[in-house]
Amino acid sequence: MSEHAGHGHGSREHEDHGHAGHGEHGGHGEHGHHHREAESLLSLRVRALESLLVEKRLVSSEAVDRIVSAYEEDIGPHNGAKVVARAWVDPAYKERLLADGTAAIEELGFGGVDLRVVENTPRVHNIVVCTLCSCYPHALIGLPPVWYKSFEYRSRAVREPRVVLREFGVELPEDVEVRVWDSSAELRYLVLPQRPAGTEGLSEADLAELVTRDAMIGVAQAQAPSSAAL
């Protein structure tokens, strides 16, 4: 069974199977092709908007470059990764994070978002979607990927989450419950991935390097570094 939590107003159960006409679409390769087309259209629209703003002298191209660079390099998933790493090494912080995500991230200097954090465990796997648009905790994990905003992901993640997860390379045992959380303008969700086995000797900073954007959305799992890197 998969749990779909609707905009923080309780939840309703969905059968965890595919629907007629909505199969696996040939795996992640075809999945990616669909999104490349959407990305091309989005890029054209963004460039047109940027050109208009620059032409009207409402913004400079250098300012746009600085903002994009900040989200890609400084913000990106790095803030969220720091939150996850702290929760992995500090049980008291993890408890506060799961109880009140908004207040807990403010302890680390990250605010401006009403947040609920949901924890992956050996028995439960969480995945985040926004079925209405593309609500997303930008301050923690940067710019949303194109596929997150696509209608295909927004609809299929609710109807057939296990199929979508397999397309992203996440294979879960049948006894693991999949919970789908629907972000809204009022409340955003962040997945707390399971800490990879064999990372007991890593520092908090090293652990943060293992946390990816996709793992905090729930379409990937945090992976331990190779033994050679430990």
Residues annotated as part of the active site = 130, 133-135
Rounded to an integer, what distance in angstroms lies between the CA atom of residue 200 and that of residue 8? 34
- What distance lies between CA 186 and its chain's CA centroid? 17
Q: Which of 215, 217, 212 is nearest to 157 (CA)?
A: 217
Q: Count CA within 13 A, CB hemisphere, residue 121.
A: 8
* 47 class by beta-carbon count within 10 Å (0-12 exposed, 13-18 middle, 19+ buried): exposed
Given a contact cutoff of 8 angstroms between Cβ atoms, the answer to whether 176 and 123 are in contact is yes
Q: Which two tokens stand for residue 1?
A: 């069974």
- According to DSSP, the residues that pair with 188 across neighbouring strands are 115
